[in-house]
Structure 1
Amino acid sequence: MSAVLASRLRMVPLSHRDLDEILAIENGVYPFPWTRGNFVDSLASGYLVWGCRVADELVGYFVLMMALDEAHLLNLSIAEKRQGTGFGARLLCHAMRAAHQAGATSLLLEVRPSNTSALALYRHFGFQQIGVRRGYYPAEKGLEDALVMRHVLGRVSV
């Protein structure tokens, strides 16, 4: 990511008024995307929904659910044209910080085994696989498992 681009980057809380932009990204990157209702429910439930903006462009977002001292990263998505440029790492670091500041001692997530770029990102940041949810995700030919990963939170840098 260039220094000029990084200097224009802002992490911002998202709301109902951002749903069209969120859905444009979601529908552009997933064959089985979340629905508008999934995002509306997340916002209504008080989940942390943050986005990464460069100038006025929403380039990615995450949805984080808190449960006592544990956080669950429900969704982290980067616009297709912005993937592989460091925005995923920036959003993940922000999600980890937000979870830690909200009192979480660990962060859980599920990821498709076929999503090798996401797996590499999570492993880079120290997430460890702790389980498998069989048949968790819809897939082109049936169902795909989910790898359950966990990261013990502490100081987060980057």
Structure 2
Amino acid sequence: MRWWDIDPVLELEKDLFPEDAWSRGMFWSELAHARGAEATRHYLVAEDEPAEPAEPAETGGTRRIVGYAGLASAGDQADVQTIAVARDLQGTGLGGRLLEELLRAATAFECHEVLLECRVDNVRAQKLYERYGFEPIGFRRGYYQPGNVDALVMRLITNQATEEATEEKNHG
């Protein structure tokens, strides 16, 4: 994700999360930590292919952002900040592909565990996370405001952490 993606991402954000949508400033703040040698964030967008091929000079605005995702890292822990998929593409596997990219980023950041919060009423997302090995570990009461909706906290221990623990057990 780049700065020029923020406005179309905000449109999708407001459509999908009308009660607790992120602000423009929140996206700018996250992107400020996503570049350079000291980056601690990874954000990406998914674009829909245009119906008809466009000439290079005409490409501005021809692609629609249909999904986005973000990850924050701190030490050996990562947190899925957001995953969103346009309503007309939900159930197509796009959310899984975005999550896979975030998990690759967590590995690149050398994180041993990945956490996330998910609305307790978002069963579709919970099932996606479970398919990737996330397990529920608790709740955050009233996490999503202003709707006062609880969040289910889920965690994935990465293969890297499992491999290191096995190696230490075998050699230690």
TM range (shorter): 0.7 to 0.9
Counterpart for residue 56 of structure 2: none
User: Residues of 2 paired with 1:23 and 1:82: CA distance?
Assistant: 17
| 2:107 paired with 1:113 | no
Matched, 1:151 2:145: no
Structure 1 vs Structure 2 CA RMSD: 1.4
Q: Using the TM superposition, name which of 106-115 and 23-32 deviates more.
A: 23-32
Q: In 2, are the aligned partners of 1:25 and 1:80 still within 8 Å (CA)?
A: no
| CA-to-aligned-CA distance 1:100-147 (integer Å, 9 cap, x gap) | 12211111000011011101101111100111111111254xx11111
Q: Quote the offset at 1:28 in angstroms.
A: 1.1
Give the structure 1 partner of residue 4 of structure 2: 17
Displacement of 1:54: 3.1
Name the % identity. 38
Structure 1 gaps of 5+ residues are 1-13
5+ long unaligned stretches in structure 2? 35-40, 50-62, 161-172
Pair 1:65-2:59 in alignment: no
Match of 1:54? 48
Aligned to 1:95: 102
What are the Cα deviations for residues 38-66 of structure 1, in whole angstroms up to 9, with x where unaligned?
A: 10111113321111223233211111101
Structure 2 CA distance for aligned equivalents of residues 81 and 23 of structure 1:
17
Which of the pair is proportionally richer in strand? 1
Q: Structure 2 CA distance, aligned partners of 1:81 and 1:27?
A: 15
Q: Displacement of 1:24 after TM fit?
A: 1.3
**TM-score, reference length from structure 1:** 0.83
Paired AA for residue 54 in structure 1? D
Which residue of 118, 129, 136 corresponds with 1:122?
129
- Structure 1 or 2, whichever has the larger Rg, is 2
Aligned residue pair count: 140
Is the contact made by 1:136 and 1:145 (CA closer than 8 Å) also made in structure 2?
A: yes
